[in-house]
Amino acid sequence: MSVSKSQAGGTGGEPDRRLRIVGIDPELRFAGGEVQVLSLTRELIRRGHQAELLCDPRGGLFRSAREAGITCHPLAIRNSIDIRAGLQLRRFLAGGDYDVVHFHTSRAHSMAPYAHGRASCAVVTRRMDYRPNRLFARWLYHRAVDRVVAISPGVAQSLIAAGVARSRITIIPSGIDPDRFRPPTAAERQAARNKLGLASGQIAIGAAGALEPRKGHRVLLQAMAAMQAERDHEARCFIAGEGTLGQTLIDEAARLHLDGIVHFIGQLKDTRELLWALDIFAMPSLKEGLGVAILEAMGCGLAIAASNVGGAGDAIANGCGLAIEPGNAAALAAALRKLIGSSEQRLALGEAARRGVIDRFTIAASTAATLKLYFNCVKDRRRGSVSACGA
């Protein structure tokens, strides 16, 4: 099948070549990374490439990909030394003639040695902004793949600090569809607010993401408690997501007397159900590669208060949000008070955030950059200029 330059991305000197790509993401939880994998795969297919996925059949990505009509093959990876999964992957790739194997998580990446020689090019995406410290992990980044995608400059720096050559790293930010994540109509906003039981004029603060320590939800609870103690507003806070800290955070909210103030609404299939009801979006992360949730909130034109950490700080630079010192509940409370008290500032920040995401963080731009990387990697492999895995 021949595709046009616009369909294929027009990159790498091979605009008419249809690539065969398989992405690997074995995670059970459907978090921001899985949202990106699904969006990228859809866009690759839309541009005329053959893109498939290998996922755990018990996971949310497997179900969502199948619902979207994406070819998704079962692959469960229990841990980084799962020999059975590695051999299964090797057999699968032997019959596929793939141009690119793209490992989307660290667990997937641990299987890279089994993929050696089974595709023209191997790529891994790194989403975390902390340094990979284990010797095996560092070896995987050094030798087991041809190219490493960092989703933000902070992630790239953590890889360089671990000894990965800068020439092997390409920074490709995550992206969203700004036509899907957009400011709501008046009717859409009212419907979303009604669903959450919000009164007219009541300020709604929200957060979305995995309920894990690195996301800093405890900081948000402490900030809400500090504001509630002053009783100078009637804001409500809605936290979407699931994770290992779920019950712990619920108990913490009760201890801080936040019943009726903070609401845990679970995992959402469509985060617009929350975002369209909000006035303010909070991201109190302690560590953050970039964060799909903050990009979705920006696309919806929300005022943002986020930790100045990793790619999140970069996303809200240049007036696109209020940057907060990570872990500082008092600073977060001050930022939230400021936004609660000024509808004009909320509007200005929301408009700037919307412009920022359209300029820098769309799935179309992310896919085009990824395709350019794929084509260049395949081309370099053919020329013999990319060192082989384990060489």
Q: What is the rounded average pLDDT of the residues 16-23?
A: 90
Residue 7: predicted pLDDT: 45
What would the two tokens of residue 202 be? 């009541």
> Token digits for 101?
């194997």
Give the CATH fold of the 186-360 domain. Rossmann fold (3.40.50)
- Placement of tokens 């790619």 in the chain: 311
Neighbours of 210 (CB within 10 A): 21
The dihedral region occupied by 156, where left means phi > 0, alpha psi between -120 and 50, and beta the remainder, is alpha
Of 171, 122, 163, the C-alpha closest to 142 is 163
> What is residue 232's predicted lDDT score, i.e. its pLDDT?
65
**What are 78-91's pLDDT values in tens digits?**
998 999 999 999 99
Residue 305 confidence (pLDDT): 98
Of these ranges, 14-23, 52-61, 227-236, the one predicted with the greatest mean pLDDT is: 52-61
Whole-Å CA distances, 295 to 112, 187, 234, 253, 386: 30, 23, 27, 26, 34
State residue 384's pLDDT score.
Answer: 67
* Measured distance CA(125)–CA(341) in Å, rounded: 40
Could you tell me the two tokens for 373? 């990387």
pLDDT at 389 over 50: no
Q: What does the domain layout of the chain look like in residue ranges?
A: 5-175+363-383, 186-360
- Average model confidence (pLDDT) across the chain: 90
Measured distance CA(151)–CA(132) in Å, rounded: 15
Which 3 state secondary structure label does DSSP give 197?
A: coil
Whether pLDDT at 353 is above 80: yes
Task: State the Cα–Cα distance between residues 98 and 50, nearest whole angstrom.
Answer: 9
Tell me whether domains 5-175+363-383 and 186-360 share a fold: yes
Q: Which CATH class is domain 5-175+363-383?
A: alpha beta
